[in-house]
Amino acid sequence: MNSSPQWIREQIAVLQQSHLFRTRQQLTPKPDGWCELEGRLLKNFASNDYLGLATDPRLADAAQRAVAEFGVGSAASPLVSGRTCWHARLEDRIARFEGAEACLLFPSGYAANVGILPALVQAGDHVYSDQWNHASLIDGCRLSGADVHVYRHSDMQHLATLLDQASHTGRRLIVTDSLFSVDGDAAPLEDICRLSDDFDTMLVVDEAHATGVYGAHGRGLAESLHLESRIMLRIATLSKAIGAQGGFAVGDQTVIDWLWNRARSQVFSTALPPAVCAAACTAFDIIETEPFRKERLWDFSRQFVEQLFAAGLNLGVSAPSALGPIVPVLLDDPQSALRVGRLLQEDGFLVGTIRPPSVPPGTSRLRIALSCAHAEADVQRLADSVVEHVRRAETTERRDGP
């Protein structure tokens, strides 16, 4: 058979009919939070570039200098011959930034998670995973072969009940996002640390959306709650607030040595390009010396969330203080999410529209990610536009409804 089978055509037709088929588009990043999409200049509120570093010329400079010296590809797995001085420098830089004993790089955050979890638990072991954990953690759990116990989102009672099962012998591990990537809410990390202590389990926390954003030094949610020393392994990405590419994990030297030997996604995958590591090193310097970026982001976030909340939009939380720079606006059906997303584009804003299967049916939403790269007036204009279009969509829904 050399052409695509009928079943794929049928499945695509089903996706199209239910407004769930995804098309591809091309985007050109521009400075100051702008982007160009299909020939139109838009303010980009759909990226994870929270600190505006992805287009920072200082990162580009660092990368260019490293390219001139090392070329582009690193040509081998880090274990074989792909680990350059830039990889070593970045691992040291991250360990210092995170106040951790040791750090290990991965090709991406996704690769970190699918490599790390199977290195820690196997068939016969038990992993306890939040219902809304990122797909890469879910995949890592599945790949490990351990029994996976999914607890209801942030439900500590449920987690405690699962942990209390006497039949759960073998190694045990709790894994959670710190800041949930779609809902933008924070995990109850303090309670999770307590349960991990009480039941003597390993604890892995994924700070992908919190690194650079939360905590006095920008290390993440664990820092802001003073819990870093109680978490065995913290995972994060260089691809969001850091503005580069790649994943990393920090912990004590022993667990990092173990992952170096056993995490298949870094053993069997080519090391990050040295230039990316050089750019990331510069990003950590900037984060430390320019705290105003984080402060500005939080000012935007407080102002934006409060305005949407006061206007009665459904942000999925009971108080504005529960959200940070990721702001979801729930809209029930995928059509409304797409329609509002299009109207916002006409007003000059790009926001994420998230539909099933990324979120459960009936919870399609806008996902607005703020960045310190924007101007305050843009954030204000976006808030006004969102309130206007979402209200209109809700009225239309009621009129068209059953």
Ligand X SMILES: *Cc1c(COP(=O)(O)O)cnc(C)c1O
The residues with which 250 forms a beta bridge, in sequence order, are 103, 234
Instruction: Choose the catalytic residue: 126, 209, 294, 389.
Output: 209
Residue 175 CA to its chain's centroid (Å): 15
With CA atoms as reference, report the closest residue to 235 among 177, 185, 276: 177
Q: Does 237 bind ligand X (CB under 6 A)?
A: yes
Structure tokens at 395: 């009225």
Beta strands 34-37 and 202-206 are: unpaired
Is 181 among the residues known to form the active site? yes
338 class by beta-carbon count within 10 Å (0-12 exposed, 13-18 middle, 19+ buried): middle
Smaller CB separation from ligand X, 36 or 139: 139
Residue 325 binds ligand X, judged by CB under 6 A: no
| Candidates 105-113, 267-275, 284-292, 380-388; binding stretch for ligand X (CB under 6 A) | 105-113
* 282 binds ligand X per the rule CB under 6 A: no
**78 touches ligand X by CB under 6 A:** no
Instruction: Check binding of 248 to ligand X (CB under 6 A).
Output: no
The least distance separating ligand X from the CB of residue 130, rounded to whole angstroms, comes to 11
Alpha carbon distance 269, 396 (integer Å): 50
Taking CB under 6 A as the criterion, the residue among 83, 93, 126, 209 binding ligand X is 209
- Binding of residue 109 to ligand X (CB under 6 A): yes
Omega within 30 of 0 (cis) for the link into 357: yes
CA distances from 197 to 164, 175, 316 (A): 13, 14, 30
Q: Is 224 in the active site?
A: no
Minimum CB distance to ligand X, residue 340 (Å)? 23
In the bound complex, which residue of the shown chain has the CB atom lying closest to ligand X?
A: 109
Catalytic-labelled residue, pool 87, 126, 149, 240: 240
Whole-angstrom Cα distance, residue 273 to residue 72? 6
* 367 lines the binding site for ligand X (CB under 6 A): no
Stretch binding ligand X (CB under 6 A), from 50-58, 106-114, 195-203, 265-273: 106-114
Active-site residue set: 181, 209, 240
